[in-house]
Amino acid sequence: MNIKSIKSEFPIFNKKINNKPLIYLDSANSSQKPKAVIDRMTHFYENEFSNVGRSVHTLAVTATNRFEESRDIIKNFINAKHREEIVFTKGATEGINLVANCYGDKFVNEGDEIILTELEHHSNYVPWHYLRSKKKAIIKFAKLNENLEIKVDEIKKLITSKTKMIAITHISNVTGGISPLKEIIELANSKKIPVLIDGTQGAPHLKLDMQQIGCDFYVISCHKMYGPNGLGILYGKKKWLDLLPPYQGGGGMIDEVKKETISFAETPTKFEAGTMQTAEVVAMSEAIKFVETIGLDKISDHENKVLNYAIEKLKKNNSIKLIGNPENKASVISFTIKGIHPHDIATILDGDGVAIRAGHHCCQILHEKLGIPATARASLGIYNTKEDIDVLDSAIKKCRKVFNI
């Protein structure tokens, strides 16, 4: 696999940052876009643009066909059983909100329980908090072990006859830990409890097969897997999506509207109210083709080699504390440097062209558990190399000199 050739497909890497080559280590925040994705959006707007599902003229039919072709490509990419199990949203956040609202309205009552973990991104906590407030439900948090890992026994302890949903991350956006989905979902299935997986960090790095994973809902953030911004994918088993009421009302999602009654379209259209982000949906098919051409197995293998190199490199720096030590890990390294605020670390690194994230990464519950306000985070994509890690390591050493540490 020629990483140099792959990297050349991303126009952003022609840019210099502070007169230095761009070392982009912030893909957990948002990945960069290959030219094929950018060009597909441009081509659509220049040659095929129209609203979908509204008209019978040539452009409208073409746009609708391209939109639905992308649904089929995504269905095959994640091995969903039915194309109707793919719902387009404006992001993974909206996908989780959709499930929390629609499932919660129909199936959650006062005193019912939702199980989360201490690793969750705010997007997989705040929607359930709203449900808790609205329905007087209860949220339980599965505790992490000393390595900041989720263990199935901790979830098992929390399950009662009142448990109505288990919602967990696939890969932590702070520790990079991979959740033991197989064991958790098998446990949930034995208790007839539905499971939602926040796949925001999972989808760009791991091969997805909904038949093997077996979850009831899985959300994907397209801009983190080389696709456009403003687009998410919600996978839901058809049996659930057919049962759930619509999330929003408006054009496109109805069957018939009268003064006294309204009937709704079938799944998935009933969840896609209003004007859809057609260009983004069409371009997402190119992002998937990009990933499939390389192969997710090869992507994972490459990223793991760079990740392991980075961990060993940073461990040699006594001033660095790595956050978490999960046995199964992917794509993310969070760390602190004693005596230097993470925002200062990120600022100094940016001077050397190294882009990382600093903050609580929308995981304040985890950071509160650790007793720290923020961490610095380096995260990987297919375009990163061991040489990038060498530059990161050198820039970190520069931080220490600046602060005389």
Rounded Cα distance between 32 and 42, Å, is: 17
Picking from 276, 292, 308, the residue at the C-terminal end of a domain is: 292
- Residue burial 302-341, b: 16+ Cβ < 10 Å; e: rest: bbeebbeebbebbeeeebbebbbebeebbbbbbbbbeebe
Confidence of residue 248 (pLDDT cuts 50, 70, 90): very high
Rounded Cα distance between 13 and 19, Å, is: 13
Which residues does 54 contact at the CB level (< 8 Å), separation at least 6?
60, 251, 252
Q: What tokens appear for 288 in the block?
A: 């998937």
Q: Are residues 132 and 272 in the same domain?
A: yes
Query: In this predicted structure, what is the pLDDT of residue 7?
Result: 97
Q: Are residues 222 and 312 in the same domain?
A: no
Residue 17 is classified by DSSP as E
Residue 247 is classified by DSSP as S
33: in domain: no
Picking from 264, 292, 320, the residue at the C-terminal end of a domain is: 292
Rounded Cα distance between 203 and 197, Å, is: 11
375: in domain: yes
Confidence of residue 317 (pLDDT cuts 50, 70, 90): confident
Confidence of residue 208 (pLDDT cuts 50, 70, 90): very high
Instruction: Please identify which residue in the block is written with the tokens 């989720």.
Output: 150
Q: Are residues 283 and 158 in the same domain?
A: yes
Query: In this predicted structure, what is the pLDDT of residue 1?
Result: 83
pLDDT tens, position by position, 114-130: 999 999 999 999 999 99
Q: Are residues 104 and 236 in the same domain?
A: yes
Instruction: Please identify which residue in the block is written with the tokens 């019912």.
Output: 112
Picking from 292, 308, 343, the residue at the C-terminal end of a domain is: 292
Q: Are residues 206 and 319 in the same domain?
A: no
Rounded Cα distance between 125 and 47, Å, is: 41
Q: Are residues 65 and 189 in the same domain?
A: yes
Instruction: Write the CATH number for 351.
Output: 3.90.1150.10
Query: In this predicted structure, what is the pLDDT of residue 400?
Result: 83
Pair 174, 121: CB distance under 8 Å: no
Of 311, 346, 313, 320, whose CA–CA distance to 405 is shortest?
Answer: 320
Rounded Cα distance between 196 and 121, Å, is: 13
Q: Are residues 51 and 137 in the same domain?
A: yes
Residue 152 has pLDDT above 80, yes or no: yes
Query: In this predicted structure, what is the pLDDT of residue 405?
Result: 74
- Catalytic residues, by residue number, are 362
380: in domain: yes
Q: Are residues 341 and 204 in the same domain?
A: no
12: in domain: yes
318: in domain: yes
Q: How many domains does the chain have?
A: 2
Residue 318 has pLDDT above 90, yes or no: no
What average pLDDT does the chain have?
A: 97
Average pLDDT over residues 13-40: 97
Give the domain range for residue 155.
38-292
Query: In this predicted structure, what is the pLDDT of residue 269?
Result: 97
Q: Are residues 85 and 204 in the same domain?
A: yes
32: in domain: no
Q: Are residues 157 and 179 in the same domain?
A: yes
Q: Are residues 190 and 97 in the same domain?
A: yes
**Largest distance between two CA atoms of the chain:** 73
CA 263 from chain center: how many Å? 33
Confidence of residue 49 (pLDDT cuts 50, 70, 90): very high
Residue 171 has pLDDT above 90, yes or no: yes
Q: Are residues 67 and 187 in the same domain?
A: yes
308: in domain: yes
